[in-house]
A = this chain, B = another copy of it.
C-alpha cells in the first residue's frame, strides 16, 4: 500500500491534470519521470514524453527532447512512466459470474456491463484488454462506443465466440447446472448471442466447410480468432481443421489463439501453426508439462498467455479446499500443476503474455467461501485486481522484472499483431501509458501505485469509474 502522503500526492497530481486538460487536440509533455518504455531497453531518467493528437511524438532524456510551446506540462519528477498495461485474456461480459438471474435481468444491457468492466480495468492501469470470449454483439457495441469516444474504458479487442463453442445453455457453461427454469425460447435467444454460427457443429464439418464458416464469422467484425483446442485432455478439432482455422485468421491478418489445457493438444496446435496458447500452463487434468513440450514452445516461439497467481493464494486454496468438485476436478492439484509449469516455462524462456481470465465479480451471485476469500487473498480472476497479483506471482516465480513489464505490454501487442500502434513508449505509438509512484523494476508490487493513467493521450479521471455500475453497484 502506498503511504497516505503518497496517495494524497497522487490524487492532487491527477486532479490538477484533469481540471486543466483541454479538449481532444491537447498537446501534453510529461517531464522529469523515469521512462521504462516496454521494449526492454534500459530506463531513461529525467525523461520527457511529448504527446500530440493522441500519439507519442517524441520521447527521450530531458534536454534532448523538444517540448512544443502549447504543451500542457505534467511534472512527473520522482515518478515512473510505463506503457499502458494490457491483459491478454479477459471476459468483459462476465464469465464465471454467469447465471440465469443475471442473464435475464440484464438481457438487453450487457453492453453496459462490458463498459463497466472496461472502466474498472482502465481505472487500474489496463489501457488495452483482449476479450477472448463473451457476448459478441454487446462487446462489439461497447468496443465501438469506446473507440468513438462515446464511452470511457479500456481499448477492447475481441474474439467474440470461442470457435467450436456453443452458447451458455447448450454448452452447459453456467455456474449452476440447472437451466430447467428457463424457457426454450430464452435459452436459444441468449445462446445465439454467443455461438454466432461457429458452435460445436463445426466439429462435424469437413475442413473446407469449417473454412467457409470461419470466413463468414470473421466478416462480423471480430478482431482476432480463438478456437476450442481441447476439452480436458480430448482434442476438439483435428489437426487439419485447426490448420484451416489458423489459415483463415492469418489470411485476415489476425492473431489466432486456442483454449488448450493438455500437453498433447499443445503439441498438435503448435504443429498446426497457432500464434497464442491460452492459459498454456494450466492443465486439465492436473499435469506437469513434459520438458519436450516446453522445448517445443521455445523453439517455435509460440506466445503463451498465462494466468499467474501467488503462492499466498494457492496456500489459501489448499487450506479452504473441500476436496474435488462434484465433477471430480481437483482444483488444488490443478493450480499447483499450473504454478510448477509456469516456473519451468519461465526458466526455459517461453514467451509469455500476462492474462487473468478476469471478469466483474458479483458477491451476491458467487457467495461461496472460496469466492469470498478471493476478496481477501489475492484474487486471480477479478478484473482490475487480478493483474496486480499476476505480476507479483511472476516475480515470485523467478521472472526478471524487465521481462515482467514486457509480458504485460509489448509481448501482448506483438502477439496480437497490434504492435505498430501499441505496447511501447516510442514515437508514433498511441499515447497509452501509466505513471507510477514507485519503480516497477524494484518490486512488482509497485504496479499498484498508480499516479495517473493516460489513454489516447488523455489523462483519465479514474476516481468516478465505473460511472454507472450494474454488477458492482453497492446494494
Residues of A bordering B, CB below 8 Å: 99-101, 104-105, 170, 174, 176, 178, 180-186, 200, 203-204, 206, 230-231, 233-241, 262-265, 267-268, 283, 285, 287, 290, 292, 322, 328, 364-365, 367, 475
Contact = CB atoms under 8 A, between A and B. Distances in A.
A235 B292 CA distance: 21
Contacts of A285: 200, 203-204
Nearest to A264: B238
9 contacts: A101-B181, A105-B105, A178-B181, A203-B234, A234-B235, A234-B236, A235-B236, A240-B267, A322-B322
B234 A182 contact: no
Tallying the copies of this chain within the complex gives 4
Closest 4 CB pairs of A and B: A178-B178, A234-B234, A235-B235, A203-B233
Contacts of A292: 206
Given A234-B230, A238-B267, A265-B238, A364 B184 contact: yes
A163 to B, nearest CB: 14
B176 A180 contact: yes
Contacts of A104: 100-101, 104-105
A290 B206 contact: yes
Given A101-B186, A178-B180, 16 more contacts: A99-B182, A99-B183, A100-B181, A101-B183, A104-B104, A104-B105, A183-B365, A184-B364, A200-B233, A203-B233, A204-B263, A230-B234, A234-B235, A235-B235, A238-B267, A322-B322
A211 to B, nearest CB: 14
A244 to B, nearest CB: 11
Contacts of A322: 322
Contacts of A174: 181
